[in-house]
Amino acid sequence: MLHKKMSRTDYIVEGILLLIGIMTCICILYPIVNILAVSLSSDGYVLRHEVRVLPKGFTLQAYKDVLANGDILRSFGNSIYITMVGCGVSLIATFFAAYPVACCEFPGKKIYNIFVLIPMWFQGGMIPSYICIQKLGLINSYWSLILGALISSYHVLILTSFLRGIPRELLESARMDGAGELRVMFRIVAPLAKASFATIGLWVIAAHWNAYFGPLLYITDSSKFTLQQVLREIVLEANAAQFDLGTARPGQTSVKLADQIRYAILIVSIVPMLVIYPFVQKYFVKGVTLGAVKG
């Protein structure tokens, strides 16, 4: 249908849609643009609340201050490692958890299904989780973060409901041809579920990237800190400096730059997501063509 020529009403509708889209964008973007502008402005303008959309008294000082922290680069690498490995492992595990429910029949399926769902509403809390990780000897290992967040029942549910939409005949005919279950899973089902994998992958990446409390408890070796841990430290330091005693010496006060630093940190931590998102988005679009094959 995309190839069909557009009629005049189509153009009008498209115009209206575009307009709404732009308005939505402005509403969503304004605060973010404001953050960016503040992070690039100098003190006087920020303190007078004069910075709205464009930076005033342009300066990169806040970014210099943030990046001057030697731990930033290393923790950036750490976070990327955790996110990548975590995403890969989680996707496979989620697939294994969801596939049997969606595509197979086996005694006890219902119980298994409920077994997987219950943790959505009941959690033991941090203390038993900590003891669990500790007993497994995973303190200060990234596996504490990766394994601890390996499967989310919510993701299993989403994937299951997606996989249910795949025609059974497709699977049955493959099985008839003598394909093993693993083969069916990875050769036939997986390619059809690309869009769903992309979605869940994105969620997993976002969760790992933003994770704060897990690393806080399980990673105590400062050379293994994640980006969020280091950024939080800088923020806390900026805040602490405000409430801790300063001295009467002339010069710097801690009040200045505090907003800029806080916001520069936000921008720094969003950037990788900005890089990943369009890449993942491609797979949503690909889903359309795949859907056509499927019918």
Determine if 124 is a binding residue for other proteins (CB under 8 A): yes
Nearest residue to 141 (alpha-carbon basis) of 150, 133, 149: 133
Q: Which tokens is 270 given?
A: 């969003």
Q: Which of residues 135-154 bind other proteins (CB under 8 A)?
A: 136, 147-148, 150-151, 154
Q: Which residues contact 120 (CB under 8 A, 6 or more apart)?
A: 153, 154, 157
Among 70-78, 80-88, 121-129, 168-176, the segment contacting other proteins (CB under 8 A):
121-129
Q: Which of residues 35-64 bind other proteins (CB under 8 A)?
A: 35, 43-44, 47-49, 52
Q: Which of residues 211-240 bind other proteins (CB under 8 A)?
A: 213, 216-217, 220, 233, 235-237, 239-240
Nearer to other proteins, 77 or 124 (CB): 124
Torsion angle of the four alpha carbons 72, 74, 78, 84, in this order, in degrees rounded to the nearest 10: 90
Interacting residue with other proteins among 70, 114, 169, 178 (CB under 8 A): 114
Could you tell me if 58 and 41 are in contact, meaning their C-beta atoms sit under 8 angstroms apart? yes
Among 59-67, 76-84, 168-176, 200-208, the segment contacting other proteins (CB under 8 A):
200-208
Which residue is associated with the tokens 């995309």?
2
**Tell me, what amino acid is at 152?**
S
Determine if 88 is a binding residue for other proteins (CB under 8 A): no
Is 232 exposed, middle or buried (CB count within 10 Å of its CB: 0-12, 13-18, 19+)?
middle
Under DSSP, the state recorded for 5 is P
Whole-angstrom Cα Rg for the chain? 25
* Interatomic CA distance for residues 96 and 168, integer angstroms: 18
Q: Which tokens is 286 given?
A: 């690909």
Among 60-68, 75-83, 104-112, 170-178, the segment contacting other proteins (CB under 8 A):
104-112
Determine if 132 is a binding residue for other proteins (CB under 8 A): yes
Q: Which of residues 66-85 bind other proteins (CB under 8 A)?
A: none
Nearer to other proteins, 21 or 77 (CB): 21
Under DSSP, the state recorded for 6 is P
Among 58-66, 73-81, 170-178, 197-205, the segment contacting other proteins (CB under 8 A):
197-205
Interacting residue with other proteins among 63, 130, 143, 186 (CB under 8 A): 130
Determine if 295 is a binding residue for other proteins (CB under 8 A): yes
Nearer to other proteins, 64 or 109 (CB): 109
Could you tell me if 165 and 295 are in contact, meaning their C-beta atoms sit under 8 angstroms apart? no
Q: Which of residues 237-266 bind other proteins (CB under 8 A)?
A: 237, 239-250, 253-256, 258-259, 262-263, 266
